[in-house]
Structure 1
Amino acid sequence: MNDYLHFTMDDADIGRLSSLALAHVGDCVYELLTRGRLVTGGLTTARNLHSHTVALVRASAQYEAAQKILPMLTEEESDVFRRARNTKVHGVPKAASKAEYAYATALEALFGWLYLKGRYERINALYDVIAQPEA
């Protein structure tokens, strides 16, 4: 039976993916982490879960999340992030600046890259920093 929850790819296959393809996967990974955090954190109504999720996964929030983890990234992770941040996108949502959207795309690409490499502990370590309230 295939494991559809834990996809992994080898380095050559991952290297053939565009930054936007990595961001496509990472968007889902990041939202799943956020939704799980909210559900296990005590939010129970669909309305509360949805509004809090949207607030945490929008480009401006992902920009802030990226700022928290950038100093922690390895050289390889920084390369993935930088490449995705510099990717040309065809549109930016009205609610986000071009810079916020670029960083959000880069954050999602990083999470997608880590997921496809099977680096779940690293995903958790980075997301744990993101989830910490501001001091």
Structure 2
Amino acid sequence: MAKADFQQLNGIALAYLGDAVYEVYVREHLLDLGMSKPNRLQKKATSYVSAKAQAGLIKLMEDQDKLTDEEWEFFKRGRNANSYTHAKHTSVITYRISTGFEALMGYLKLSGQQERLNELCTWCIKQVDLGRIQYEQ
């Protein structure tokens, strides 16, 4: 199977993958905490993967100068992409920022930067666990 060229993919395609990649990290984390009831898992996962949580994580990354210039470029590719879907429970701006977050994760996965992906996903999960991110239920 041919590998997708992350340099050629648009921000929405990168976000499509990045959404799933980050979700797996979150699900594994919740299972590692001993959670097992589906309804509780889903509700708790929202605190990590909601558009508002992801936008909050990007803000924290910016405040802490966490991303490289190239990572910011891929975030912006996702944030600025024209999407035909729209925000359901959040503002358009928050939704676009969260799309950028997901595009960043997709870029890291497709570019083979597994160690950096692990580092950022672990950092993001820790920020949520420590209550540093405000999110919508």
Displacement of 1:15: 1.5
Query: Closer, same or farther in 2 for the Cα pair 1:55/1:134, shift >3 Å?
Result: closer
TM-score of the two chains, using structure 2 as the length reference: 0.84
Map 1:46-61 → 2, pairs under 5 A: 46-61=38-53
Q: Is the CA contact 1:69–1:129 (under 8 Å) kept in the aligned structure 2?
A: no
**Structure 1, gaps ≥5 residues long:** none
Deviation string for 1:56-102 (max 9, x for gaps)?
21111111122222321101111111121111222322311111101
Letter in 2 for 1:59: A
Distance in 1 separating the partners of 2:72 and 2:40: 34
Query: Closer, same or farther in 2 for the Cα pair 1:38/1:8, shift >3 Å?
Result: farther
Match for 2:87 among 89, 93, 108?
93
Query: Closer, same or farther in 2 for the Cα pair 1:97/1:119, shift >3 Å?
Result: same
Q: What SS does structure 1 have at the residue aligned with 2:6?
A: helix
Question: Across the two proteins, how many residue pairs are aligned to each other?
Answer: 127
- Which residue is 1:63 aligned to? 55
Q: Does 1:73 align with 2:67?
A: yes
Letter in 1 for 2:43: S
Letter in 2 for 1:117: S
Moved more, 55-64 or 101-110: 55-64
Distance in 2 separating the partners of 1:113 and 1:77: 8
Query: Closer, same or farther in 2 for the Cα pair 1:61/1:42, shift >3 Å?
Result: same
Distance in 2 separating the partners of 1:129 and 1:8: 27
RMSD: 1.8
Distance in 2 separating the partners of 1:113 and 1:67: 19
Deviation string for 1:81-130 (max 9, x for gaps)?
11211112223223111111011100100000100111111011112221
Structure 1 residue runs of 4 or more that deviate by more than 3 Å after TM superposition? none
Distance in 2 separating the partners of 1:102 and 1:93: 9
Match for 1:120 among 114, 120, 126?
114
How many percent of aligned residue pairs carry the same amino acid? 32
TM-score of the two chains, using structure 1 as the length reference: 0.85
**Structure 2, gaps ≥5 residues long:** 133-137
